[in-house]
Amino acid sequence: MADTKPKPAPTMAEFLKTPSMAKRFRGFLPVVVDVETGGFDAEKNALLEIAAVILDMNAHGELIVKQSLHKHVQPFAGAKLDPEALAFNKIDPYHPFRIAVTELVALEAIFAAIRSEVKRHECKRAILVGHNAIFDLGFVKAAAARTGIKRNPFHLFSTFDTAALSGVALGQTVLAHAAREAGLNWNNDDAHSALYDAERTAELFCHIVNTWHRLWGGNL
């Protein structure tokens, strides 16, 4: 009778012999996401910007940034726009130069790129990395539901939250403070753009994972 017991996850020592994104994160591909919105309610407030940063792994098992994706998004029909949220992110949802697309167009483009990378790395699906990640995942899931997209590549409830990770690794939970503590560049004038925040979050996540790898990977 064939052995049907699940195979144990590889140890870090085993991983170090053959670096692999799928082995490193238990079959998940981490993808960094940031959204800018018209409020805090994913069901009622508009998704206005979404950025996704796809990561890769070099021959030494270190995470690196591979590709950034970014879309300005049109408010969905009936979406509520909180004036305080718009004052904070400085987005004019109806400005003609935004070149915004519908939620469907934005998500289909980003999801297609992510699915391609999931397949290339032989992962089972993507996992969202974000700073206070449950917020970003909530808006992604709500937009996917509104548009009828069936093939959401992200795990539906698990995330990697850099607010928690940087709190442990760096003693900071605010993105700007954590980035500076990690020695990364931070420009307050560029912050609160989905693309800028996603790229800085990606650099922060790579820094934390790679530092752990260098300090502890060879000793496990």
Reply yes or no on whether 121 is catalytic: no
CA 76, distance to chain mean position in Å, is 22
Q: Give the whole-angstrom CA distance, residue 149 versus residue 196.
A: 26
Q: Which residues contact 123 (CB under 8 A, 6 or more apart)?
A: 21, 22, 25, 27, 28, 29
- Residue that the structure tokens 């990697």 belong to: 160
Could you report the per-residue pLDDT of 37-56, keeping only the tens digit for each?
999 999 999 999 999 999 99
For residue 190, the model assigns a pLDDT of 85
For residue 182, the model assigns a pLDDT of 96
Could you tell me the two tokens for 202?
Answer: 């990606």
User: For residue 85, is it left (φ>0), alpha (ψ between -120 and 50) or beta?
Assistant: alpha
Could you report the per-residue pLDDT of 188-209, keeping only the tens digit for each?
888 889 999 999 999 999 999 9
Q: Name the stretches of the chain with pLDDT < 70.
A: 1-18, 217-220
Active-site residue, selected from the candidate residues 60, 131, 192, 207: 192
